[in-house]
Structure 1
Amino acid sequence: MGIISADVFLTLDGVYQAPGGPDEDPSGGFPFGGWQGAYWSDEGGEVVGAELARLDALLLGRRTYDIFAAYWPQQEDEIGAKFNAVPKFVASRTIGEPEWAGTTVVRDPAAELAEVKERFDEIHVIGSGELTRALIAADLLDRLHLYVYPIVLGRGRRLFDGVVPAAFRLSEPARTLPKGAVSLVYERAGEPVTGIDIGALDG
């Protein structure tokens, strides 16, 4: 059985929208596209590259898929070669015939992705906040890799808005990157434990 891992670039206030460039996703009047750029480093690129090297298949929500499908087929660098070569899945009830070669449409993630996990060792979700929340709700997300950047934006789509309660455990040592970004890798750890009296734990 393989795993589904969500890899997300995130601000301190939880925004994941348009980290890569000003025109990546201006929906909703978002004016801060490209917020990740000032914090990028060679070491950070190596960490991201190592993560991408692990993936056997790519799973995307419809919005992120449209962004990727418009860009990556024309790219011949290492990342482009990887994305173009691996099987791709897009979760959508409305998409027609996908244009990006190697793409399969997933109409019902909760029903279909268990079979996909049987076929691949690591299926990675990139961006795709709505899909990530749906995977958490369906208990299909096994791993959450957050790249947290030292910036707050105050607006934009936030990863955890509306998410069902879920607990995670840190599965790798946190890694601080140059310019203040932090790489955090978590595994799903069941349901949250709440209602604990912190005072009763003293001593």
Structure 2
Amino acid sequence: MRELVYTGFISLDGVLDSPGGGPGEEHRSRGWVFKDIEFLPEAFSLKGEELEETSALMFGRRSYEAFAPIWRDSDDHADYRELPKYVVSAALPDDALVPGWGPTTVLRSTDEVVELKKGEGGAIFIHGSAELARRLSDAGLIDRYHLLCFPLLLGAGKSLFSTADKAKQVLRLRDSAAYPNGVVKLLYDVVR
């Protein structure tokens, strides 16, 4: 069975809204990853480590529409170009897919994500996609969390976790590191 891994930047109060400040990011504090915290390359080394085990990428519609046109041509994201991509959306038309960014499949439901996980292959990494992450977490489909937690309190904004009343979910720490700029790497396995 394939693993689904959520990877993202998160504030200490659980907000992951608009970290990079790019097009389509509307949060009042957009760009918070780079504005208020000293940039230390070692704090972002997780992204390179993840690439070694990434066999595919997954996005919700809004994150796909924001990332695809930029990441397709970005030298920083060149290693993502030919990886298979999955967009989970009931509304995205097939003709809205960005050409030249590797094979992309639209999954129309959570059930299709379940079927994808049952297939052969390596880990699928979910980037951005707060709404999708909440939905897949609530459905018990996320296997790991790779978080870079920033020493900020952002208040309102898109949160990684829903407020749904559901059973307790235990996480097991896989790895962690703290950096001099206050960023903390937290890697958790979901205990089943």
43 and 114 in structure 1: CA distance in 2 versus 1, 3 angstrom threshold: same
The structure with the larger Rg is 1
Q: Can you give the 5+ residue segments of structure 2 that lack an aligned partner in the other structure?
A: none
Q: Secondary structure at 2:134's aligned position in 1?
A: helix
Structure 1: distance between partners of 2:22 and 2:104: 27
Which amino acid in structure 2 is aligned with residue 160 of structure 1? Answer: F
Pair 1:140 & 2:141 matched: yes
| Contact preservation (8 Å) 1:136, 1:166 | no
TM-aligned CA deviation for residue 22 of structure 1? 5.4
Q: How many residues align?
A: 184
Q: State the Cα deviation string for residues 12-38 of structure 1 (Å, max 9, x = none).
A: 111101111254511xxx221110112
Structure 2: distance between partners of 1:160 and 1:36: 19
Partner of 1:3: 3
Between Structure 1 and Structure 2, the one with more helix by share is 1
Tell me the TM-score normalized by structure 1. Answer: 0.83
Structure 1 segment 117-156 matched on structure 2, within 5 A = 117=117, 118-156=119-157
166 and 40 in structure 1: CA distance in 2 versus 1, 3 angstrom threshold: farther
- Structure 1 stretches of 4+ with a deviation exceeding 3 A read 163-166
Structure 2: distance between partners of 1:112 and 1:86: 19
Q: State the Cα deviation string for residues 71-103 of structure 1 (Å, max 9, x = none).
A: 1111133xx222211000000001012224411
What's the % identity of the aligned pairs?
33
Pair 1:94 & 2:95 matched: no
Structure 1: distance between partners of 2:120 and 2:113: 10
Partner of 1:168: 170
Partner of 1:198: none
Q: State the Cα deviation string for residues 39-83 of structure 1 (Å, max 9, x = none).
A: 431101222211133210001111111111121111133xx2222
Q: Secondary structure at 1:180's aligned position in 2?
A: coil
Q: State the Cα deviation string for residues 117-159 of structure 1 (Å, max 9, x = none).
A: 2232100001211111111122211111121110011122112
Q: Can you give the 5+ residue segments of structure 1 that lack an aligned partner in the other structure?
A: 191-203
RMSD, aligned α-carbons: 1.7
More displaced 10-residue stretch of structure 1: 134-143 or 170-179: 170-179
Tell me the TM-score normalized by structure 2. Answer: 0.88
